[in-house]
Structure 1
């Protein structure tokens, strides 16, 4: 009989749906390295984290959004974006059901460096970094399976720069953001967009797809150039945004 996860259970952050402990497949069974465990074991693991559901274009709260945690994709697809480099390019790759994101930061003990944007309706189980490392320490077979998956990814996956797929897409998006921005009275020299259009509206304005818009906005936030202030967007570094819009981002 599989050993229960040797984790100190905190108060669950999310009550599992009734179907989880019934005859229906357990949501965590969608993760290959966990699928062979019984429902009781998976319930014990589920109590260590929380479940979240995102719509297409939503930026994930959790890994890469101020929290060092690991996201297990249960259904759908998450586009993982790394911070923009000095040329304004965003490197990204897609993680489908059964995959993880945020685990490298968690293992390295680093502050989050990625952004995650749902490409479709996407379900994610979010496990805090300390719970994740405790799981690997107590379950060598799971640790080995994840290490093998990571090795396969490193050998076969080639992250793509966003600009390579979209040409001047980033320039178009950033230029439109500048046109919508107004002086920010709360920040000397800053700019603000009081109401940021939805991704779909921005995509139509810029002639882009929603995924490109979502990734571009996420990159601005991760780079420190902007911050979300719902329902708007505050531009903290207008000079950098102007450089991106012109296609000649400033260097450090």
Structure 2
């Protein structure tokens, strides 16, 4: 392990860490020696993931302030400090804009946008006492381009994009760095059904210069970079991770 990516003295929380990109982020942090706590709403998923990763888990609904406050209170009591937060909890409801319901809109934005903010706010209250912290938000290429049938999701990830830059500017004097990863097309449990559509998959791959969809480990590798001292002079950055899809 490189000294600059050694996180053995760090404690990390990964929301949505039981599966998909969150799991990959947690796995990368754990491999670098960090003490990792994964959170989410599905206790069965968290239990299996924690056994596989060898880390702790705490159930939490990021869209509920009381649940978020309880999460970080437990972590503060257990570890006394918190150095890294990865906001990977997220969901999507695919519906045409003319058909999406108010409840569907609220569900997506409550988890993706409000949940990200609530966790950032809660963790910053802990981090400021140490004058150090790394917050890594999982955004999306949907915050930069229009994606059909993803109005609520795109709006929520647009909020994450702007929140990342705002908090980076506001919390830099506290020693807290806030950056975001903007994944392109990745094959996860949220997109499995899309990738089963041969025509859709062919269209998507044709738009990616590297010719393939992203793998969760790609997010894990970038998470490790942003969590380590290699990125100490970076804050407010929105890093595309899309195989070059938005470069042409």
Give the alignment's TM-score, normalised by structure 1.
Answer: 0.25
Which has the larger helix fraction? 2
Which has the larger strand fraction? 1
